[in-house]
Structure 1
Amino acid sequence: MTWLRDLGLGIRFAAGGGREGWARTALTAVGVGLGVALLLTAASVPHLLTERSSRDRARAEVAASRDAVVPKSDTTVLRVNAATEYRGIGVEGFLMRAEGAHPVLPPGVEAFPGPGEMAASPALRELLASPEGALLKERLPYRVTSTIADPGLRSPHELYFYVGSDSLTPATGGHRLAGYGDDTPAEPLTPVLVVLVILICVVLLSPVAIFIATAVRFGGDRRDRRLAALRLVGTDIRTTRRIAAGEALFGSLLGLLAGLAFFLVGRRFIGHIELWNHSAFPSDLTPALWQAALIAVAVPLSAVLVTLVAMRSVAVEPLGVMRHTGSRRRRLWWRLLIPALGLAVLGLTGKVEEDARVDPYPIAAGAVLVLFGLALLLPWLIEAGVSRLHGGAPAWQLAVRRLQLNSGAASRAVSGITVAVAGAVALQMLFAAVGDEFESMTGQDPSRAQFHTFSEKVTGDAAARTIEEFRATKGVERVIGTVETYATKPGTYKEDEVTPTTSLTIGDCATLKELAEISSCEEGDSFVVHPRGDKEMSAWVDETARKGEQIELNASLDWSPGAKPVLWTLPEDTPTVTTSRDPIGEEHWGIMATVGAIDPRTLPSAQTIAQIKVDEGVEDVAEYVRNTAARIDPGMRVATLASTERDRQYASVQTGLRLGAAATLLLIASSMLISQLEQLRERKRLLSVLVAFGTRRVTLGWSVLWQTAVPVTAGLLVAIAGGLGLGAVMTWMLDKTVTQWWLFLPMAGAGGALIVLVTLLSLPLLWRLMRPDGLRTE
């Protein structure tokens, strides 16, 4: 009962403490509220990912459609993937044709689009109607008749569409669909990615916890002076501490309400925010009930515990006399013990096996101990450092003296950035060490061509026109265009015999020289092309490509049903050459012929392939290429060539890190700014006195800069050392080698930028507090 009475008294003091009391409580509430809002957002991430995945799977075709031949029925649908890209953003969609009167509808679509009609996502509809989407409108010239509802979209800013067609058939590339809803289990993360995700969660959430603990201490000096008056009327030390805990409890409860308000307001507008092409529906940001309850209990409890621990270092005596028991030098040994214990936990966990199940708890516990140990080490380092600083300019002396008198507030203000930078350094080391595992060389050469197109629907006479249309496209410098089919050796073969078969590639001389080591070529020439260093395959090519003998072109294969074979005689003087790699890294062998030797119009079921080199200085050249492809065949795929390829799960983890880091850095900047403003408010009278005695405002401004720079510099030193240690141990756990030890340099630059930013934002309040009316007292 005594505890409850004293806590209640503290709550009453906080609620009725006048203007100064309310100012301190408001600062605490805002600080705690920002932290709570971020915790609620983090708690919503699992639900967000689950909802996105469920919507994505709901609109995917059923496994039966993908794995088996689906018979035509009243509900089946033919469709072909018509996905494209616009200015670096993916635009997904399908061409569709109903095969009956009651076709299955994808989620979010109320009516099946008719021929030439399109159901579009709200974001795509808005883009097509704007001047910015003019080039995309050329590619998707359909009439928008309906809007895809939220259940059919991964996110509110997704660009997605369904287009109706009356010409799509299985022969022209249509794939029969029986229904929607893919229940195939998602591929689990690899052990390496699990470790990365664990460390990311620890790094992003640890500064939030520290920020909440710091916010509870806002206005501590004024609170302690007020508590001294309670000592004067007879309260003992324990009662005083409990009353202080009650004040902190009231501020944290208000912070919970403020955090809930921040979260709900931000949640309402989250659908209008897009970061790195990622967005979310407001309904996706819903934390689990048990997580919200845990936050609601943990935050006030932490506020009480932090206050009780902090009050142990302060002696509040009658008549307002305060003595920091911390005047005794801080001890170092136990501060070093905590990060050392964290590293030991990680070391004892051992190396992560490639196919083993990863236990997240010891890894998370070890990382938390290291990061929080660094935050505990910071006050000792600042105190030890500033105690040895003497002399200098007046601004420097004012800053140093302030830090010498009370370094605790400064260390609390920068503890968040210390933990964040340490975690960022460790993460960067880890990403650098494992990056090669998730990035592979594609063998493609973007210097020879930047785009690759492929179509089985554009054949015959249209194939030659296709290549010419690409060459006439704005910004295109060169097209390696070919028409490809298969050639077989004529004859009758038994069922168990393999028909001698090789590929046939038709193109102009410039194209063929890109695909094989051809020294001389004229229109009408043909070539037998052998693979490099493969005698067995070369013999198989020669089995079909018999010089002076007939071969059968346009053979009926699985991918070209109903194709009629064409007989053609390979000239007897046809030279034999060796293949070379094309821009996409592939080698072509078999028979190559110029257009003068074989007319592509005689091959109605061939494939048309174009590898396109463009002038990258032409604005939107990629969109011109894609528009040409869409005019030729709406289902033609245009791929961008790249020398490296990144694993999709790894890229998703990196995107999550960027999004989380943006929110955490915003919180850290807010934390430092609020702490700086709170410290300036505490020194209002002192600043006015200094100005009254003739101290220049510029001098005081520089002193504020130094008061921020010294603790941040100390924090960066601790963070870099701790981050390198944590990163080295985590890299060892993954059985990797540290490849880059200098990754902390960008973090140091970010710390410097933060110093300048916080100082500039605090200057307006500093000028206001230096006015003479700050000398007034009541």
Structure 2
Amino acid sequence: MGVRFAFTGGREGWIRTLLTAVGVGLGVALLLLTTALPNVLSARHEREQARRDYTYDYTPKPPADDTLVIADLDSTYHGDDVRGRLVQPDGPRAPVPPGLRTFPAVGDMVVSPALKKLLESDDGALLRERLPYRITGTIGESGLIGSHELAYYAGVDGLAAKIDPPNVARISAFGEPHPFAEEAADPVLLLLVLVVFAVLLMPVAVFVATAVRFGGERRDRRLAALRLIGSDSRMVRRIAAGEALAGALLGLVLGTLFFLAGRQIAGTAEVFRVSVFPSYLNPSPALAVLVAVAVPMAAVLVTLFALRGVVIEPLGVVRTARPARRRLWWRLLLPAGGLALLYPMLGQGRENGDFNQYMVTCGVLLLLVGVTALLPWVVEAVVARLHSGGVAWQLAVRRLQLSSGSAARMVNGIAVAVAGAIALQMLFTGVDADYTKATGQDVTRAQMEVSVPDGVPMARVTRELGATKGVRKVVALSEGNLGERRMSADLNAQVTVGDCAALREVATLPSCREGDVFALRGSDYDDNMQKLTGFRTLFLDPADGEEDTESTPVAWTVPRGLKQAQTRLDMTGVKRGGFLVTPAALPAKGAATVHGHVFLGLDPSVPDAQEYVRNTAARIDPLADPMTWSATVESGRFASIRTGLFVGAACVLALIGVSLLVSQLEQLRERRKLLSALVAFGTRRRTLSMSVLWQTAIPIALGLGLAAVVGLTLGTVLLKMTGTSVSVDWVSVLSMTGVGAGVVLLVTLLSLPPLVRLMRPDGLRTE
């Protein structure tokens, strides 16, 4: 009978069932998306492994008909990574990269669909200058890790002469032949993952539980009518459970459709620079079955739980009388239980063993569930003490006093989300320093560095980079190694080559002119300098041993009257040692033994200065490697978890907004006759609109206040667990709270047009 009421109850029944199904369906879609996340991560990792082309074998592989010379030309364009490879097959059986059918010819390139679209647009004008190749095809899905990845393979000639592993190497197969052993799990990162999943999924569960209670007051009135014709109390509860089950099953169907549609949309979207292919989003079968069983079961249990305090009699629903005061003691047990589960792990940090996954998950969930249990009591206790005010205020307060539970249910999800977000923000901020290390690079003296390939004249590099738009300072330095004999030198020292202006960036010079040589003092590793200055002849790039045929040591006569210089912190944060040499003092063949680096100061008023530098470097030599400097570098795994949090939070926020809108529309529909009666009596529409706004604003303010308290408590406990000092970033707390309030405000504004349509006297008509 409950299922029949859901589907054959006329227009009212259909609308009620549809609203429930939409609310449940949105939650189911997000749950299915979550169950697909492990497969997404696994698929991206497998694709990345399958196309891996690095080799750390520094003994060059001999050319054969099944080998390929490949060069890494990874770059950046407007903040997006560009994966580039130059290829030169040695023979007809050379391994073809994943996603390609054949190798591109010399001067041609095969690009990803996203890169092709960018190069054909006006936004890709600067990137086109960097890639002077003709597009002849696109990379297939098997060669990409995401639909928006920018990647290309370009065919070139003469690459074999530039082999220098790992950036330029000869390989015989793609993929990782010797996978590295998995790193030991970092307990703090594991804790972050567990908390992220708990925080993101809890609001979804709250919204599913809220959606199955749509139309609760009308349902109870129908059940009273059934009692009048002979149904007993058990029977009406079974009927209510059947009606909720029908809405939940329809929600499963809609949720599956929403997920399939979202799966296709995901292939065209990019969130926080992360993109996927639809084929990645395949939910784990076991987890999908769990969702299919848990959602209908939860719908039935929530419905029966909601009816526990409702007496449905033949002459009406006794709930319309003054409700009994809510009890506080059992509501406090939930957060207290959560704290009790987390307490044994306080101070454990990352040195004292792993955190218990089950205790962490259950503890966090109990604290967040505590928000949903405490909020109805808080709303009831506060609104019972609100009285005087304008007409709109009094209408809103009286409505909240009569049905504070409905108002609390509507904002439960947003309160849980904000509480979890505050806790996570505190945790990420607290441990950020552990996963962010200083690079030592002085970004006030240089903002980019270009590594110059061997054989490229430094004079040309300096000249062309100095003439590049947006470059205001160029410091060109070449580095090499000196030893006291040609092979197996016992005494070694660094040699730095540059003009006087460049050498002053690394040392304090007494005076300098072309042809000078300086011995550095004050370095942390200049023990060999005293001995080396006693030799009259030193050798640049000494060989490691008899078998080393790659090195060609060059003899260098140490000039008499060697000048002394005091080292200073250079731009890379290092105090150099060894010798400083101006280019004129270097032997004729010495330039081939040193490796060039150019440090660039950029003009911040030129927005694309970095892109101009990258284009100039590519024009000088495709293998020139421009790098953007930063004062700090972040752990990749930590950054991945935080990116996953941002992507998940964006999805949950979207769900929160849509679900809140559905919930608001359902409540307005429930009050249609009441609103029409008030308008018929002459109440102004502006007054009613303000009353609806107050009905939303008061519970939201209370909910966000409670969320801030619980979030700060949970964040403090989590920081204590990681052994991190507790500090509160109030700006982040206020921003998280503001985002929650902003979502609710937007939903309220979107619900005003339907409200205006409902405020008509003809809404009193009854069929």
- TM interval, short-chain normalised: over 0.9
Could you tell me how far 1:451 is from its partner in structure 2? 0.5
- Quick one: distance in 1 between partners of 2:502 and 2:274? 40
Could you tell me how far 1:707 is from its partner in structure 2? 0.7
Could you tell me how far 1:129 is from its partner in structure 2? 2.0
Where does 1:544-583 land on structure 2 (aligned, <5 Å)?
Answer: 544-546=532-534, 549-553=536-540, 555-556=542-543, 562=550, 564-583=552-571
User: Which residue in 2 is equivalent to 1:483?
Assistant: 478
- Quick one: distance in 2 between partners of 1:620 and 1:139? 13
Amino acid at match of 1:79: I
Q: 1:556 to 1:471 in 2, by over 3 A?
A: farther
Whether the aligned pair in 1 keeps the contact of 2:310 and 2:317 (CA below 8 Å) is no
Amino acid at match of 2:435: F
Q: 1:69 to 1:355 in 2, by over 3 A?
A: farther
User: Which residue in 2 is equivalent to 1:156?
Assistant: 147
- Quick one: distance in 1 between partners of 2:653 and 2:477? 52
Could you tell me how far 1:751 is from its partner in structure 2? 2.9
- Quick one: distance in 1 between partners of 2:374 and 2:188? 30
User: Which residue in 1 is equivalent to 2:252?
Assistant: 256
Query: 2:434 aligned with 1:447, yes or no?
Result: no
User: Which residue in 2 is equivalent to 1:397?
Assistant: 394
Could you tell me how far 1:690 is from its partner in structure 2? 1.3
User: Which residue in 2 is equivalent to 1:177?
Assistant: 171
Q: 1:98 to 1:605 in 2, by over 3 A?
A: farther
Where does 1:588-607 land on structure 2 (aligned, <5 Å)?
Answer: 588-598=576-586, 602-607=590-595
User: Which residue in 2 is equivalent to 1:621?
Assistant: 609
Amino acid at match of 1:110: R
Whether the aligned pair in 2 keeps the contact of 1:189 and 1:649 (CA below 8 Å) is no
Q: 1:416 to 1:560 in 2, by over 3 A?
A: farther
| TM-score under structure 2 length normalisation | 0.95
Amino acid at match of 1:209: A
Could you tell me how far 1:304 is from its partner in structure 2? 0.7
Q: Percent identity?
A: 48
Task: Give per-residue Cα distances to partners, 1:172-197, cap 9 Å, x unaligned.
Answer: 53312121122434435411000000
Query: 2:196 aligned with 1:207, yes or no?
Result: no
Could you tell me how far 1:254 is from its partner in structure 2? 0.6
Whether the aligned pair in 1 keeps the contact of 2:3 and 2:246 (CA below 8 Å) is yes
Query: Greater CA deviation, 624-633 or 321-330?
Result: 321-330
User: Which residue in 2 is equivalent to 1:265?
Assistant: 261
Whether the aligned pair in 2 keeps the contact of 1:77 and 1:176 (CA below 8 Å) is yes
- Quick one: distance in 2 between partners of 1:66 and 1:383? 70
Query: 2:238 aligned with 1:242, yes or no?
Result: yes
- Quick one: distance in 2 between partners of 1:338 and 1:326? 27
- Quick one: distance in 1 between partners of 2:350 and 2:74? 38
User: Which residue in 1 is equivalent to 2:753?
Assistant: 764
User: Which residue in 2 is equivalent to 1:3?
Assistant: none
Could you tell me how far 1:449 is from its partner in structure 2? 0.6
Where does 1:93-492 land on structure 2 (aligned, <5 Å)?
Answer: 93-169=84-160, 171-173=162-164, 174-182=168-176, 183-324=179-320, 327-349=323-345, 351=348, 353-354=350-351, 356-459=353-456, 462-489=457-484
Could you tell me how far 1:684 is from its partner in structure 2? 0.8
Amino acid at match of 2:467: A
- Quick one: distance in 1 between partners of 2:161 and 2:322? 81
Q: 1:332 to 1:641 in 2, by over 3 A?
A: same
- Quick one: distance in 2 between partners of 1:587 and 1:46? 46
Amino acid at match of 2:45: S
Query: 2:12 aligned with 1:20, yes or no?
Result: yes
Whether the aligned pair in 2 keeps the contact of 1:172 and 1:457 (CA below 8 Å) is no
Query: Greater CA deviation, 687-696 or 515-524?
Result: 515-524
Could you tell me how far 1:688 is from its partner in structure 2? 1.3
Task: Give per-residue Cα distances to partners, 1:35-71, cap 9 Å, x unaligned.
Answer: 00000000000011111101110111387x6587544
- Quick one: distance in 2 between partners of 1:731 and 1:259? 37
SS at structure 1 position matched to 2:147: coil
Could you tell me how far 1:317 is from its partner in structure 2? 2.1
Could you tell me how far 1:487 is from its partner in structure 2? 3.0
User: Which residue in 1 is equivalent to 2:737?
Assistant: 748
Whether the aligned pair in 2 keeps the contact of 1:232 and 1:319 (CA below 8 Å) is yes
Amino acid at match of 1:129: E
| TM-score under structure 1 length normalisation | 0.94
SS at structure 1 position matched to 2:583: coil
Task: Give per-residue Cα distances to partners, 1:585-631, cap 9 Å, x unaligned.
Answer: 23322221223433777522421100111002102111000111111
Q: 1:722 to 1:435 in 2, by over 3 A?
A: same
User: Which residue in 2 is equivalent to 1:56?
Assistant: 48
Amino acid at match of 2:491: P
- Quick one: distance in 2 between partners of 1:438 and 1:562? 39
| Backbone CA RMSD of aligned residues | 2.1
Whether the aligned pair in 1 keeps the contact of 2:478 and 2:595 (CA below 8 Å) is yes
- Quick one: distance in 2 between partners of 1:17 and 1:560? 88
Whether the aligned pair in 1 keeps the contact of 2:60 and 2:169 (CA below 8 Å) is no
Whether the aligned pair in 2 keeps the contact of 1:41 and 1:287 (CA below 8 Å) is yes
How many residue pairs align between the two structures? 759
Of the three residues 39, 44, 49, the one matched with 2:31 is 39
